[in-house]
Amino acid sequence: MFKLKENQTNARTEVMAGITTFFTMVYIVVVNPVILADAGVPFEQVFTATILATVIGTLWMALFANYPIAIAPGMGLNAFFAYSVVGGGQNISYHTAFAAVFVAGLIFVILSLTPLREKLIDAIPDNLKHGITAGIGLFVAFIGLRLTKVIVADPVNLVKLGDLHAPSALLTIVGLAITLILMMLRLNGAIFFGMIITGLIAFFTGQLSFDKGFLSFPSLPEGLIIANPITALGDVVQYSLYAVVFSFILVTIFDTTGTMIGVANQAKLMKNGKLPRARHALLSDSIATAIGAMFGTSPTTAYIESTSGVAAGGRTGLTTLTVAGLFILSAFFGPLVSAVSGISAITAPALIIVGSLMMGSISNIRWHDLDEAFPAFLTILAMPLTSSISTGIALGFITYPLLKLVRRKWSEVHPLVYVFAVLFFIQLAFLQH
């Protein structure tokens, strides 16, 4: 079913890769409820909804697309939901905001059933694809360094080196060294075993504790938040949430598309610049977005943390099937998951190493052609500096056709690139993002 031999892998490697991906992204079941709680959504509701959306999207990816790319509610999209849509002065409740997410999800499903999204992947210029991959790598590494305070905010230069004697930073450095040594020794599952050893160090040094126990039962205090599609559509019309729906669609399309390209490139799953079974892969996040909104969570996206599983050897849907199974189990281990995911230093070494691996795509960019190189460079630069994959992609999409027009090479640009360049310009200039 998963064509393990064809993809030059085996069941043990895939399961280990799935476990690795799970531990690098499981923080979302804690962080997402915390962020959406600021919009008034009950913590327990979002916790369970987050797991439901993740399991549905990831299972679809595993069983129909056969890719090691996990799906879950997106960071950034949850903040946009909580602080711009609900808390942005529009005087709407989170129930109404979820209606906008649901409608966006339905439109997203329709778009995914058409050739548009699949053609978009083919239309993205190769140098932008390499830039997207490298930019995500830099962004991933930056997240790992920032979460563990190896890098901290600076009022003068925005960022600076943190206190390396701080427990979190020190544990990250030790974990990074251990994981790199295991990788140099070519140990299968080196990233996962690195996290296990780092976790043990955290436990014995008192940084990791399990004060709240290990088990709890999941619940949905409000049941289905969106039960009637017609009512949801009526809410969007009544509150004129068209710009919100458009923003959700545009950002999610490119967040997911860019991440899928980055992960697929790293796993060498792209064939002649194209992603096989792209339609099924792209349906996974759109279906999960619509269903997730019904239960009470923000839009889903492909997760950049999937790169850690790919680095551990994951190549097929068996990796993501493992991820989905572990998320189902995590629903009953809320306190345990919360404790482990609350120690960023356990997973940060994996993010930093994966970031370095993804940066290798830079070597494929045609740096001697400025009209090809600069959009890729801007994409790479913008992702970590704006903390947004989609913003980096947007700037790349806008500058690429402009430079081609100046060079009188407009015929080299796919028409879809022009269309989305205009849409991205409108979104960045006039809409919330």
Cβ density class 180-219: b for 16+ within 10 Å, e for less: bebbeeeeebbbbbbbebbbebbbeeebbeeeeeeebeee
3 lies in some domain:
no
How many angstroms separate the CA atoms of 191 and 74, rounded?
23
With CA atoms as reference, report the closest residue to 364 among 256, 259, 270.
Answer: 270
SS3 213: coil
Angle at 383 between CA 379 and CA 387, to 5 degrees: 160
SS3 172: helix
With CA atoms as reference, report the closest residue to 312 among 6, 10, 61.
Answer: 10
Question: What was the pLDDT predicted at 201?
Answer: 95
- Looking at the 3D structure of the chain, how many domains does it have? 1
171 lies in some domain:
yes
For residue 272, the tally of other CB atoms under 10 A from its CB is 6
172 lies in some domain:
yes
How many angstroms separate the CA atoms of 38 and 82, rounded?
6
With CA atoms as reference, report the closest residue to 289 among 83, 111, 74, 22.
Answer: 74
Could you tell me the two tokens for 370? Answer: 């400025």
Could you tell me the two tokens for 387? Answer: 């903390």
- For 158, phi then psi, to 5°, come to 70, -50
Q: State the residue range of the domain holding 269.
A: 11-430
How many angstroms separate the CA atoms of 96 and 40, rounded?
12
Residue with token string 């992609």: 393
Question: What was the pLDDT predicted at 232?
Answer: 93
192 lies in some domain:
yes
Angle at 245 between CA 242 and CA 247, to 5 degrees: 105
Global pTM reads 0.74
SS3 392: helix
95 lies in some domain:
yes
pLDDT tens digit at each of 433 positions of the chain: 888 988 889 999 999 999 989 988 887 887 888 789 888 999 889 999 999 999 999 999 999 999 999 999 987 778 778 877 887 656 789 999 999 999 999 998 998 888 877 777 778 888 998 898 888 888 888 888 988 999 999 998 899 999 999 999 999 999 999 999 998 998 767 887 888 899 899 999 999 888 777 788 888 989 999 999 999 999 999 888 887 888 788 777 777 878 888 888 888 888 877 788 888 888 999 999 999 999 999 999 999 889 889 988 899 999 999 999 999 999 998 777 667 767 889 888 888 888 888 888 899 899 999 999 999 999 999 988 987 777 888 899 999 999 999 999 988 899 989 998 998 898 788 765 5
4 lies in some domain:
no
138 class by beta-carbon count within 10 Å (0-12 exposed, 13-18 middle, 19+ buried): buried
2 lies in some domain:
no
How many angstroms separate the CA atoms of 179 and 185, rounded?
10
6 lies in some domain:
no
